[in-house]
Structure 1
Amino acid sequence: MDDETPWLTAEEQDAWRALVGVLARLPHALDSQLSRDAGLRHFDYGVLSRLSEAPARTLRMGELAGAAEGSLPRLSQVVARLEKRGLVRRTPDPADGRYTLATLTDQGWEAVVAAAPGHVAEVRRLVFDALEPAMVAQVAEIGSRILQRVDPQNRSV
């Protein structure tokens, strides 16, 4: 082993392993709830939710990819699937035809509105009910600091 490597302390190892566990298990738990209750995956819900909050329920695909924490190729596949279900519509951007707009349809709006209560309840149960009130701000600060390292351009922070 390299004596120059700044190995993790026991406390850092515990924190790292806990974070890895959350990153591995939480998405599956959220996927399970949304799939069971709304026929959506967590990423699908994130896309619909971001569109529901956008002006005119519309975003450029590249902007939506960043907002939904996904790559443009992954987003394109998901939006194509959502479009087949009538939840999203894609059109060329009239301001610049090089871009594609994704728009939440009325049916998509109804889907996200119907899915939201169950999703929020599951997020509360799995995450916030496990935390003391002061820990919520700590989680936000910790997440923000890590994201600044992972994504220095701050596209989603």
Structure 2
Amino acid sequence: MAARPGDPVPLDAAEEDLLRTFSQVWSALPRLMDADLQELGLPLGEYFVLMHLSEAPGRSLRMSELAAATDMSLSGTTRAVQRLEAGGLVRRERSDDDRRGWHAVLTDAGLDRLRECWPTHLASVRRHFFDHLTDEERPVLARALHRVLSGG
């Protein structure tokens, strides 16, 4: 049967290989980085919470903003913040704006913990990702992924 206008175009072998390989990397990379951080007792998701809080003005973010920044659900973010709060790494404060919302605030101990784990995270990212790309490939890949994200 001949293809009609508007019919989906099947992926060619190279496209199929790229999609499957990208999916495998997308799935494997966080697991590998998490395993490296787990050796220090800090899951990758909690590392990202500390990282984003460290970069925020006043080391504070609304819980919804933190969830968006870490790409976690609000309930997942709440659980991560509760675990970090129990360890004294984060504290929660009522929002001054509306008194209904909550902010997560990075404590000095949380910043120290982030600094302690940062070298392991950096080494992990390099070992599992950047070390496999050439200097020429990195900017090309970055531009391509930015286009995918922007839909253009």
TM-score scaled to structure 1, two decimals? 0.88
Counterpart of 2:61 in structure 1: which amino acid? L
Q: What does residue 10 of structure 1 align with?
A: 13
Q: Which digits, 9 at most, give the CA deviation of each residue in 1:31-69, with x for residues without a partner? A: 100001x21111111110010111111111111111112
2:84 matches 1:82: yes
Q: Structure 1: which 4+ aligned runs deviate by more than 3 Å?
A: none
* Count of paired positions: 149
Q: Aligned-residue CA RMSD in angstroms? A: 1.9
TM-score scaled to structure 2, two decimals? 0.90
Q: Which digits, 9 at most, give the CA deviation of each residue in 1:80-105, with x for residues without a partner? A: 11111111111111122122100011
Q: What does residue 66 of structure 1 align with?
A: 68
Describe the SS at the equivalent of 1:103. strand
Q: What does residue 34 of structure 1 align with?
A: 37
- Superposed displacement of residue 26, structure 1: 0.8
Q: Aligned partners of 2:144 and 2:75: how far apart in 1? A: 29
Q: Aligned partners of 1:98 and 1:145: how far apart in 2? A: 38
Describe the SS at the equivalent of 1:115. helix
Matches within 5 A, 1:1-157: 4-36=7-39, 38-149=40-151
